[in-house]
Amino acid sequence: MAQVPLYTTRGDWAGMYIDGYLYNPQGEWIGWVNPGGVVFSVVGEYIGTLSKDFRVLRKRDIVETIPRRAPPTRPALKIRMPSSVPLAPLMAELTYDTIDVFEEMPERLHTIDADPSAKDID
């Protein structure tokens, strides 16, 4: 089970990629990646793509809507995160039409219990 750190464009540690799943620094499941490198949230909403330098990137203006996908089975346990990660590699510049999801839209990668579309019990 290889753990690959995820970084923001500024070089901050944003999470971990482990066997197709994305986790936040606290070890909570926040998303998954399909075999084509497309990132989805825990509820199956399109988030962006996983870049070669392990950032989650997205086009600023999405013309086509990508349908919601059924998420895989929820990981059984909370992952134990390392106490430190390597320094971020030098990141390529982003063009204006591409954004870093961890920097500009971190609320899109939420945990399953923090789903904003979930209905209140009351």
* pLDDT tens track for 9-45: 999 999 999 999 999 999 999 999 999 999 999 999 9
Would you say residue 119 lies in a domain? no
Would you say residue 121 lies in a domain? no
Quote the pLDDT of residue 31: 95
Quote the pLDDT of residue 112: 85
- Structure tokens, 51: 């870049």
Is a pLDDT exceeding 80 seen at residue 115? no
Would you say residue 12 lies in a domain? yes
Better pLDDT: 64 or 98: 98
Would you say residue 93 lies in a domain? yes
Would you say residue 47 lies in a domain? yes
Would you say residue 120 lies in a domain? no
Would you say residue 58 lies in a domain? yes
Give the total number of structural domains in the chain: 1
CB neighbour burial string for 55-83, b if at least 16 within 10 angstroms, e if fewer: bbbbeeeeeeeeeeeebeeebeeebebee
What does pTM read for this prediction?
Answer: 0.86
Q: Could you give the CA distance from residue 65 to residue 118 in angstroms, rounded to a whole number?
A: 21
Q: Could you give the CA distance from residue 83 to residue 80 in angstroms, rounded to a whole number?
A: 9
Q: Which residues form the domain of 17?
A: 3-114
